[in-house]
């Protein structure tokens, strides 16, 4: 189940200080998934924060779109060794969604349509580091890239940016997600090449 990834060269045009070790730059946006692509209409999509909270909080897609939005330009890095620079995203910061939630949790488990999960320290979802993204390059996010909305945590390898995200479960303990259970690194810092358990 663990694929060591693609091979390629760093682009001569890329600033090497922006490309983590072992990565190569692509202008494409490769589509990689653990299973079939879910096709969910925005009208049927919701996002839930549950777990170590007084009670779950749920937003419809349109309620999410009505919240203050953030636009970012960022580089993304896949564990399969490609990096894509200067990607443009728009969505709602996790800081906004968590602002009125009181929790004792230190960890989060993102969950998605299709049964995908991935775990992160809650600290990596706050401080402007993460969003629920619904636009890519000025257009609605397509299903192939995780639409109608995906988690975006660009400072970690891209498997942590769960496609087709439906919510996060706040937890007092760290519970490994899908790829983490199949040997991927628990944290996934691209600058430390934390691809696989033990890296």
Task: Give the tens place of pLDDT for each residue, 17-55.
Answer: 999 999 999 988 888 776 777 888 999 999 999 999 999
CATH of 43-173+187-192, one of 3.40.50.11540, 3.90.420.10, 3.20.80.10, 3.40.718.10: 3.90.420.10
CA atoms within 13 A on the CB side of 128: 5
pTM of the model: 0.91
Percentage of residues of the chain with pLDDT beyond 90: 84
For the CA atoms of 92, 18, 5, 28, what is the dihedral angle to 10 degrees? 70
Integer Cα distance of 74 and 15 in angstroms: 14
Tell me which H or E stretch contains 60: strand 57-60
What does R_g of the chain's alpha carbons equal in angstroms?
16
8 Å CB contact between 152 and 125: no
Angle, alpha carbons 83-85-34 (nearest 5°): 40
Strands 150-152 and 165-171: unpaired
Question: Which residue in this structure is represented by tokens 């891209």?
Answer: 158
Chain mean pLDDT for the chain: 92
The two tokens of residue 131 are 């969003």
């Amino acid at each position: 189940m663990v694929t060591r990834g693609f091979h390629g060269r760093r682009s001569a045009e890329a600033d090497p200080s922006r490309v983590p070790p072992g990565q190569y730059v692509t202008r494409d946006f490769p589509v990689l998934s653990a299973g079939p692509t879910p096709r969910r209409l925005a009208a049927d999509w919701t996002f839930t924060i549950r777990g170590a909270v007084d009670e779950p909080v749920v937003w419809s897609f349109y309620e999410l779109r009505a919240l203050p939005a953030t636009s970012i330009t960022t580089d993304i890095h896949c564990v399969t060794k490609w990096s894509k620079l200067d990607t443009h995203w728009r969505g709602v910061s996790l800081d906004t969604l968590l602002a009125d939630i009181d929790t004792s949790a230190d960890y989060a488990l993102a969950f998605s349509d299709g049964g995908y999960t991935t775990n992160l320290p809650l600290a990596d979802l706050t401080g402007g580091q993460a969003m629920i993204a619904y636009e890519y390059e000025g257009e609605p996010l397509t299903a192939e890239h995780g639409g109608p909305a995906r988690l975006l945590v660009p400072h970690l390898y891209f498997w942590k940016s769960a496609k087709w995200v439906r919510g996060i479960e706040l937890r007092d303990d760290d519970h490994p997600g899908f790829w983490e259970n199949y040997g991927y690194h628990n944290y996934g810092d691209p600058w430390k090449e934390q691809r696989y358990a033990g890296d």
